[in-house]
Amino acid sequence: MTPLDRFAAFLATKMGKALLFAAAILLAALVAWWLFASWTGGKTAKTETKLGAAQVEAATDSGRDAVGTVAGHARTSEEIDNLTRSNAHDIFEAEGAGAPVATAVRDAGKRSLCKRAAYRDSQQCLQQPSAD
Amino acid sequence: MTASSACSSLLPTEWQEGVDGAPLPEGDTVGDWIAFGDAQTGQLDKANDRYRAATGIVARCEQRDRDAIDRARPKFLGIF
């Protein structure tokens, strides 16, 4: 009896059949796992590629939006400065514009402004005489 | 998955300095002080416009990032 004959005889036994069945189940499980891993791995890579492309597109759109919005703000600021100049002209042309402001109220006004963060370090405030 | 871009980096760095106040009145006339008040209001308008611009840039950028993630998210049966 050759080893192959002995093996065939073993497989014919209950124990051999059970082992063969278990091996077949194990093999089927391994094949199923491999197929599943390949499928989900491919899907993840596809999703990552899609996400990367979508994020690049979003970043490009946001950059373009920011440039446009900042430019719009610059235009608005220019219009505001133009209006300030035009208003100043009208104010100085108005009757009474040249009337002097009383020294006490002027000084109080400047001292008040110099307490503000916007002016605290300005040259005029640093030279401001203290209130007596 | 999270958004990769920092939307706040889109804002100009000089905007962090804020908007300057109007120059303090040089003269001592009523006109000088009234013109100063008007100029200061103009600076307030600039600051408000800058605030709206900045929040708009960041909000729209964040929305785009969220949309990008939503579009890339795998859908069940390609629908849900």
| ipTM of the complex in this document | 0.86
Q: Check CB contact under 8 Å for A54 and B56.
A: no
Q: Check CB contact under 8 Å for A63 and B10.
A: yes
| Domain definitions of chain A by residue range | 3-99, 100-132
Question: pLDDT tens digit string along B45-65?
Answer: 999 999 999 999 999 999 999
User: Please, what is the average pLDDT of chain A?
Assistant: 91
Query: Which of chain A's residues have a Cβ under 8 Å away from the Cβ of B29?
Result: 97-101
- d(CA B78, CA B1) in angstroms, rounded, equals 19
Confidence of residue B1 (pLDDT cuts 50, 70, 90): very low
Q: Check CB contact under 8 Å for B10 and A62.
A: yes
For chain B, the maximum distance between any two Cα atoms, rounded to a whole number of angstroms, is 77
Q: Check CB contact under 8 Å for B34 and A113.
A: no
Compute φ and ψ for B4, nearest 5 degrees: -95, -25
B2 vs A33 pLDDT, higher one: A33
Q: Model pTM greater than 0.80?
A: no
| pLDDT the model gives residue B55 | 97
Tokens for B52?
């709206």
**Local structure of B18: helix, strand or coil:** coil
Interface check B32 vs A, CB under 8 A: yes
**Arithmetic mean of pLDDT, A99-113:** 95
Smallest CA–CA distance, residue B79 to chain A, in Å, is 15
| pLDDT the model gives residue A5 | 86
Query: Which of chain A's residues have a Cβ under 8 Å away from the Cβ of B43?
Result: 80
Confidence of residue A50 (pLDDT cuts 50, 70, 90): confident
What percent of chain A clears pLDDT 70, i.e. is strictly above it? 96
The upper half-sphere exposure of residue A79, i.e. CA atoms within 13 Å in the direction of its Cβ, equals 9
Q: For residue A104, which of B22, B39, B28, B75 has the smallest C-alpha distance?
A: B28
Query: Which of chain B's residues have a Cβ under 8 Å away from the Cβ of A76?
Result: 46, 49
